[in-house]
Chains A and B, each alone.
Chain A
């Protein structure tokens, strides 16, 4: 399967106005895109850290890190890739399509290298899972209020 990549080519030899227009358009699209692909990392209130670096988050979500510092197993909760949030998560964090993500995790599980995430069809289910399981971490698209869930600041930011 062919890997799809989005390449942003910034033309360098355009005129000023056109350059500004393009930059504005780009900024607008980036803003809109950033508004569409804003992700929030949540974790179980018991043992998940409050702050994580993005690279660390990716490492966790890629299955490279499997336990928290206190030894609890990391349980990943994601939305299914056939949901918008799932697609966003798949592309933004894993840089993969849904099928690629499935194959990725299948390979890891098949070789026993990692425990696959739990995929949910609704954010409510995801939230409940994270709230009820120690060491659980999940990705949502907007903040929520729950006493059993904490928001993890990624690179000091609430969303990323």
Chain B
């Protein structure tokens, strides 16, 4: 059960007032009454003692001033009921075996009072005795005072207590009302304002603030709301800026993606360009044959016409036979060019992404040749030794041939580039060599491409598969070749990594049958592992 603040305040005030009222109505009068009675008892006892002392002095010294003064003082007290002098007489038994004390009243004032020596205190009278002993007389002074004054005092105290309790009660009610108003109302207002702020209304303000902690709380609340409002505006502005920035970032991202695609396309175009260069170089040969033999046939046809004009039909037949031979060669080389073009078309076609059974040895061999021819087309002075060790047991494996072909092209291009660079800077007997080796181990086909170039420094080994990373001068490479190759091999659930003189091969590689011809000296070995299925 929830008890609200106003109720708590009222409970507290009522509790305090009730406690005070209990104290004022019961405890205080009770204690005062006891105090009065105690003081009264002491006073009466003191008076009795004084009279007794006066009597003793009067008897022993014949000086009656003390007892006279005490008696006059006591007589004048309106509370006096009686003052008696009791005489103690020792009465022995006849055989003097025992005695008893007889108490008799010697004198009493006022004379109309006849108290007994055994009189004791009760509700209406307080009796006190003070003994005295002299040679002449032994006895006690018995003083009896009525309790009228005490009763009247108690009544007065009771009435005063009731009045005070009532005043306190009403003051308490008033204080409770004021407190409830001054504390509960502002707190409730703060609560309502806080709820509305929580719902989103930042125009809420608390009014009528007092000069105390509640007022400070209200001011702090108003300041908090102002700060919240300001912060919200700033947040909204920031949100707008953020949205604008996000839009710009999205645009930038799209641009980057486009650029990435363009770069990839450029890379592809570059590799295609190199491929085309290789292919073009290959086409050049049969086309040369076609052109040469065509020119020769043109001359032979002219000679044949002349021989026919000269009616040298035998000579003309010989020339015709030569022409036929030349046409056969033209046809052959033309078909060669056709095959090369078809092949080029095959390579230039977009990857379908469909895996198909492909002879990895043939694919590697083909792209090796294309890459080599491509580099030679750019730099006619470049020559390299190409060695291949193909595992005939591999057969066909399930790959996307265009994609794996691109991988081979990238790796072969890098190898030939490395060899060419070393060739340019090396003097002496340097024979650029590339070795391509394939091997099947269980369900994995491993293709190793080794070159005897300068090798890859250890500090950049881990970066070479990162996009846009290149060691080539600006304009010569996009830095995407190996990154794309990495992605293609990974898409085939394979592995691609590189070994240099300093690097360590990964544990999954089986190096038991690899060729050791290039173990001595510098160079790089790219290892591609592909699953058979």
Residue ranges of A at the interface with B (Cβ–Cβ < 8 Å):
80-81, 99, 102-103, 105-107, 109-112, 115-117, 119
Contacts A107-B106, A107-B107 hold; do A112 and B72 have CB atoms under 8 A apart? yes
Known A-B contacts A80-B62, A111-B111, A116-B58; A103 and B68 likewise in contact (beta carbons under 8 Å):
no
Contact A112 B109, CB 8 Å, known A99-B136, A103-B137, A106-B67: yes
- Shortest Cβ distance from B5 into chain A, in angstroms? 72
* Residues of chain B lying within 8 A (CB to CB) of residue A117: 64
How far apart are the CA atoms of A103 and B59 in the complex, in Å? Answer: 8
Judge if B231 is at the interface, Cβ distance under 8 Å. Answer: no
The docked-state distance in angstroms from the alpha carbon of A106 to that of B109 is 12
In contact, B85 and A110 (Cβ under 8 angstroms): yes
List, in ascending order, chain B residues with CB within 8 A of A119's CB: 62-63
Compute how far the CA of A111 lies from the CA of B75 in the bound complex, rounded to whole angstroms: 9
User: Are A112 and B136 touching (Cβ within 8 A)?
Assistant: no
Most buried by B among A106, A110, A112, A117: A110
Contact call B64/A116, Cβ cutoff below 8 A: yes
Q: Are B64 and A112 in contact (CB under 8 A)?
A: no
| CB pair A116 B68 closer than 8 Å | yes
The B103-154 residues at the A interface (CB cut-off 8 A) are: 106-109, 111, 136-137
B300 is an interface residue with CB less than 8 A from chain A: no
B→A interface (CB under 8 Å): 55, 58-59, 62-65, 67-68, 71-72, 75, 83, 85, 106-109, 111, 136-137
- Interchain CA distance A81-B55 in the complex, whole Å: 17
Residue among B71, B75, B107, B109 with the highest chain A CB neighbour number at 10 A: B107
Contact between chains at A81 and B62 (CB < 8 Å): yes
CB distance from A65 to the nearest CB of B (A): 18
Q: How far is the CA of A115 from the CA of B69 in the complex (A)?
A: 10
State whether A106 touches B59 (Cβ < 8 A): yes
Query: Beyond A109-B58, A109-B64, A109-B67, is A103–B136 a contact (Cβ under 8 Å)?
Result: yes
Instruction: Looking at the assembled complex, report how far the CB atom of A126 sits from the nearest CB atom of chain B, in whole angstroms.
Output: 13
Known: A81-B62, A102-B58, A106-B59. A115 touches B109 (CB 8 A): no
Q: Report how far A106 CA is from B51 CA in the complex, Å.
A: 12
- What's the minimum C-beta distance from B533 to chain A, rounded to whole angstroms? 143
Which residues of chain B are within 8 angstroms of A80 by Cβ–Cβ distance?
Answer: 62
A103 to B136, CA, bound (A): 9
On chain B, the residues within 8 Å of A112 by CB distance are 71-72, 75, 109
Contacts of A115 on B, CB cut-off 8 Å? 68
29 contacts between A and B (CB under 8 A): A81-B62, A99-B136, A102-B58, A102-B62, A103-B137, A105-B64, A106-B58, A106-B64, A106-B85, A109-B58, A109-B64, A109-B68, A109-B71, A110-B55, A110-B71, A110-B83, A110-B85, A110-B107, A110-B109, A111-B107, A111-B108, A111-B109, A111-B111, A112-B72, A112-B109, A116-B58, A116-B65, A116-B68, A117-B64
Please give the distance in Å from A96's CB to the nearest CB on chain B.
Answer: 13
**Smallest Cβ-Cβ distance to B85: which chain A residue:** A110
A-B contact sample (19 more), CB < 8 A, given A103-B136, A109-B64: A80-B62, A99-B136, A102-B58, A102-B136, A103-B137, A105-B64, A106-B55, A106-B67, A106-B107, A107-B106, A109-B67, A109-B68, A110-B55, A110-B71, A110-B85, A110-B106, A111-B109, A112-B75, A117-B64
In the bound assembly, the distance between CA atoms of A116 and B55 in angstroms comes to 12
With a cutoff of 8 Å between Cβ atoms, the chain B residues found around residue A81 in the complex are: 62
With a CB–CB cut-off of 8 A, which chain A residues contact B67? 106, 109-110
Q: Which residues of B contact A105 (CB under 8 A)?
A: 58, 64
Contacts of B111 in A (CB 8 A): 111
The minimal Cβ–Cβ distance linking A91 to chain B, given in whole angstroms, is 16
Residues of chain A lying within 8 A (CB to CB) of residue B109: 110-112
Question: What residue in chain B is nearest A110 (Cβ atoms)?
Answer: B107
Complex formed: what's the CA distance from A103 to B106 in Å?
10
Q: How far is A81 from B63 in the complex, measured between Cα atoms in Å?
A: 12
Q: Residue of A at shortest CB range from B55? A: A106
Kindly list chain A residues whose C-beta atoms are within 8 Å of the C-beta of B55.
106, 110
Task: Tell me which residues across on chain B come within 8 A of A102, comparing CB atoms.
Answer: 58-59, 62, 136
Give the CA-CA distance A111 to B72 in the complex, in Å: 10
Q: Bound complex: CA of A107 vs CA of B67, how far in Å? A: 11
Q: How far apart are the CA atoms of A131 and B519 in the complex, in Å? A: 161
B67 to chain A: closest residue by CB: A109
Q: Which A-chain residue is minimally distant from B83 (CB atoms)?
A: A110
Nearest A-chain residue to B141, judged by Cβ: A110
A151 CB to nearest chain B CB (Å): 25
Q: Which residues of B contact A103 (CB under 8 A)?
A: 136-137
> In this complex, what residue of B is CB-closest to A116?
B64
Closest residue to A101 on the B side, CB-wise?
Answer: B62
- A71–B322 Cα gap in the complex (Å)? 202
Closest chain-A Cβ to B402's Cβ sits at a distance in Å of: 149
- Residues in A whose Cβ lies below 8 Å from that of B108: 111
Cβ distance B120 to chain A, nearest Cβ, rounded Å:
22
A residues near B59, Cβ cutoff 8 Å: 102, 106
A120 (CB) vs chain B CBs: closest residue: B62
The residues of A that contact B106 with a CB separation of less than 8 Å are: 107, 110
Report Cα–Cα, A129/B8, bound state, in Å.
82
Q: Considering the chains assembled together, what is the distance between the CA atoms of A69 and B71 in angstroms?
A: 27
Which B residue's beta carbon lies closest to that of A111?
B109
* B55 nearest CB across to chain A (Å): 7
**Complex A-B, nearest 8 residue pairs according to Cβ-Cβ distance, in ascending order:** A116-B64, A119-B62, A110-B107, A99-B136, A107-B107, A111-B109, A80-B62, A109-B68
Q: How far is the CA of A52 from the CA of B109 in the complex (A)?
A: 33
Cα distance, A107 to B109, chains bound together (Å): 10
Query: Considering only CB atoms, which chain A residue lies closest to B68 in the complex?
Result: A109
User: Across the interface, which residues of A come within 8 angstroms of B58, CB to CB?
Assistant: 102, 105-106, 109, 116
A6 to B464, CA, bound (A): 161
Separation of A150 and B136 alpha carbons in the complex (Å): 36
> Which chain B residues border A109 with CB–CB below 8 Å?
58, 64, 67-68, 71
How many angstroms from the CA of A116 to the CA of B137 in the assembled complex?
18
How far, in Å, is A112 (CB) from chain B's closest CB? 6
With a cutoff of 8 Å between Cβ atoms, the chain A residues found around residue B68 in the complex are: 109, 115-116
A115 to B217, CA, bound (A): 83
Task: Select from chain B the residue with minimum beta-carbon distance to A82.
Answer: B62
